[in-house]
Amino acid sequence: MFTLETCEGEIRIQENSKMLYSSGGTVWSSSPVLCKYFEKHRRKMKIGKNTKCLELGAGCGLIGIFMAKIGCRVVITDQEVVLPTLEKNINSNLDKSEVDIQVRELSWGNEEQITGIIKKETSFDIIYGSDIVFNVNMVDPLLETINKLSSTRTLIFICYEIRDPDAHKYFLERVPEHHYDIKEIPMSKHHQDCSDERVLLYQLNKIDLE
């Protein structure tokens, strides 16, 4: 059991070590860092009631559960194999009659799934993901997915520990080519109770090409 104390009480995540063919059964190191970053800056960033959030590669769902607890409207996504564990954690931490959280299957680059999400939500205020940069081949589908689901007003946060240096390097090269500005958020801005020098946090802004 992974637990995190937040301003909305404790979140308890049941990990699934038996999950095959996916890394989504574990809470990865950048997930609490990004969750606590949102907690720390939620007022300044005006995150709260009715903020429309999209989480990519949510795994066990820690961050999305927190965002729903503070009143956001959350679309929480991952690949199909991960969804039962994700649902279980949502159900054990949230009263669905009090929050707005939808679980959706989304494999990056899957046009049909992306279109399904666009049909329900035209644009998101925040798109984020933790530990989702780990494989060179996944970088372009990930950035294309973000591109289709964001606008120039969307705040985009990607947080990860470097697991594959090639994927990290390629991500930083490809972000501007997908027409985003990128800035690293220094550790001094992370939550003091939950910072980790191995974890990098980036904010991306879509460049207005018109």
Ligand X SMILES: C[S@@+](CC[C@H](N)C(=O)[O-])C[C@H]1O[C@@H](n2cnc3c(N)ncnc32)[C@H](O)[C@@H]1O
85 binds ligand X (CB under 6 A): no
Q: Quick one: which of 16, 130, 150, 154 contacts ligand X (CB under 6 A)? A: 130
78 binds ligand X (CB under 6 A): yes
The DSSP secondary-structure symbol of 143 reads H
The DSSP secondary-structure symbol of 103 reads E
Comparing CB distances to ligand X, the nearer of 24 and 201 is: 24
Beta strand spans in 67-198 (E): 73-78, 100-105, 126-130, 155-161, 180-184
Report residue 161 as tokens.
Answer: 């520990």
Q: Quick one: which of 14, 107, 147, 205 contacts ligand X (CB under 6 A)? A: 107
131 binds ligand X (CB under 6 A): yes
128 binds ligand X (CB under 6 A): no
Q: How many residues bind ligand X (CB under 6 A)?
A: 22
158 binds ligand X (CB under 6 A): no
- Select the span of 35-43, 101-109, 171-179, 193-201 touching ligand X (CB under 6 A): 101-109
Q: Quick one: which of 132, 143, 149, 204 contacts ligand X (CB under 6 A)? A: 132
CA atoms within 13 A on the CB side of 134: 15
Q: Quick one: which of 30, 51, 93, 150 contacts ligand X (CB under 6 A)? A: 30
Q: Minimal distance in Å, beta carbon 87 to ligand X?
A: 13
Cβ–Cβ under 8 Å, residues 26 and 17: yes
Q: Quick one: which of 4, 11, 16, 27 contacts ligand X (CB under 6 A)? A: 27
The two beta strands, 100-105 and 73-78, are: parallel
54: closest CA among 8, 102, 95?
102
147 binds ligand X (CB under 6 A): no
The two beta strands, 52-55 and 126-130, are: parallel
Give phi and psi for 3, each to the nearest 5.
Answer: -125, 145
**b/e 171-187 (16+ beta carbons within 10 angstroms → b):** beeebeebebeeeebee
What is the amino acid identity at position 47?
I
Comparing CB distances to ligand X, the nearer of 1 and 209 is: 1
59 binds ligand X (CB under 6 A): yes
Q: Minimal distance in Å, beta carbon 7 to ligand X?
A: 20
Chain residues binding ligand X by CB under 6 A are 22-24, 27-28, 30-31, 57-60, 78-79, 82, 106-108, 130-132, 134, 138
